[in-house]
Amino acid sequence: MIYIGCHLSVTNGYEAMGKTMCDFGGNTFAYFTRNPRGGRSKDIIPEDAAALNRLLEEQRFGKLVAHGSYTMNLCAAKESTRLNGLDMLEQDIQRMEFFPHQYYNFHPGAHTGQGAEKGIELIADALNGVLFPEMSTTVLLETMAGKGTEMGRSFEELREIIDRVELKDKVGVCFDTCHVWDAGYDVANDLDGVLHHFDDVIGLDRLRAVHFNDSKNPCGAHKDRHEKLGQGYIGMEAMKRIALHPALQNKPFILETPNDDEGYIAEIRTVKEWMEEST
Ligand code: FE
Ligand code: FE
Ligand code: ZN
């Protein structure tokens, strides 16, 4: 089995997201730790955090996958942007401890013309500055589509970042199916091959969460436009094979498909039906 859920809004607090996901029929979720376009994060009320933690345990949720801000660019050429990103990362990582043992996922960054080598160095330096031995969170680098100067466009790039991180046991990868497809990995026709390659380069033990999206563009397009399950170029049969792949079991799968609540509820139901059929 896999854990399934979608992105939720933190507007009504943390426990409220857990309740909403129960209503949606899922058992994991993602939320932005702050406004995805930057800005402040919502204050965490300790009682609200504790109530969510209780709900997660009672309802046997899989790990949550909190998402860092899109504006956080740890390898920007502009120093003020980079320092701002570092601030966000440090605060987010501290705040994650209200929710012990969950995942914190973020986009590695865009090197904005400095070159991939420099990007790798800056991202690893950032992580080395904020990760601490006692933290319970695992930080997940997201696989990216390779738009512009985006980092994380290949498994090799992610591997190079991880290689330079001192506290390696705090770091994993979030596998975004739309992004890897757009980056040129054919998860529709050669899923085994792609996962085998991931294992060779990074190690499947580092693959901790999946962003479960179809793509509006063909493989290798480097576009990053998500599509509803089965309505994009990856297609429903391939999405089903991904959800049922033995190497991806017991992981949280987060839908980031362009949907309203009803659409998410329907996709969660579809994934649960696949799991029931397969047992
Ligand atoms: Fe993302
Ligand atoms: Fe994603
Ligand atoms: Zn995306």
Which ligand ends up closest to the CA of 106? Answer: 1
pLDDT at residue 36, as a whole number: 65
Cα of 279 vs centre of ligand 1, distance in Å, is 31
pLDDT at residue 55, as a whole number: 98
Q: Is the pTM of this model over 0.95?
A: yes
Cα of 213 vs centre of ligand 1, distance in Å, is 11
Cα of 256 vs centre of ligand 2, distance in Å, is 7
Cα of 266 vs centre of ligand 3, distance in Å, is 21
pLDDT at residue 38, as a whole number: 63
- The residue count of the chain comes to 279
pLDDT at residue 43, as a whole number: 84
Cα of 178 vs centre of ligand 3, distance in Å, is 7
DSSP 11-70: TT-HHHHHHHHHHHT-S--B-BSS-TTSSPPPPPPHHHHHHHHHHHHHTT----EEE--T
Cα of 225 vs centre of ligand 3, distance in Å, is 6
Cα of 270 vs centre of ligand 2, distance in Å, is 20
Tell me the per-residue pLDDT of 77-125, one tens digit each, with 9 for 90 and over.
999 999 999 999 999 999 999 999 999 999 999 999 999 999 999 999 9
Alpha-carbon torsion (116, 149, 167, 27), positive or negative: negative
Cα of 224 vs centre of ligand 3, distance in Å, is 5
Cα of 143 vs centre of ligand 2, distance in Å, is 8
Cα of 37 vs centre of ligand 1, distance in Å, is 12
DSSP 232-276: SSS-HHHHHHHHH-GGGTTSEEEE--S--HHHHHHHHHHHHHHHH
Residue 201 tokens, joined: 């380069």
Residue 161 tokens, joined: 């970042």
Cα of 183 vs centre of ligand 1, distance in Å, is 14
Cα of 182 vs centre of ligand 3, distance in Å, is 10
Which ligand ends up closest to the CA of 70? Answer: 1
Cα of 4 vs centre of ligand 1, distance in Å, is 16
Distances (CA, A) of 206 to 20, 158, 251: 29, 11, 11
DSSP 198: H
Cα of 50 vs centre of ligand 3, distance in Å, is 31
Beta-bridge partner residues of 211: 176, 254
Cα of 263 vs centre of ligand 1, distance in Å, is 19
Query: What is the full per-residue pLDDT of the chain (279 aa) written as tens digits?
Result: 999 999 999 999 999 999 999 999 999 999 999 876 666 777 899 999 999 999 999 999 999 999 999 999 999 999 999 999 999 999 999 999 999 999 999 999 999 999 999 999 999 999 999 999 999 999 999 999 999 999 999 999 999 999 999 999 999 999 999 999 999 999 999 999 999 999 999 999 999 999 999 999 999 999 999 999 999 999 999 999 999 999 999 999 999 999 999 999 999 999 999 999 998
Q: Percent of the chain scored above 70 by pLDDT?
A: 99
- In the chain, the N- to C-terminal Cα span, in Å, equals 9
Which ligand ends up closest to the CA of 145? Answer: 3
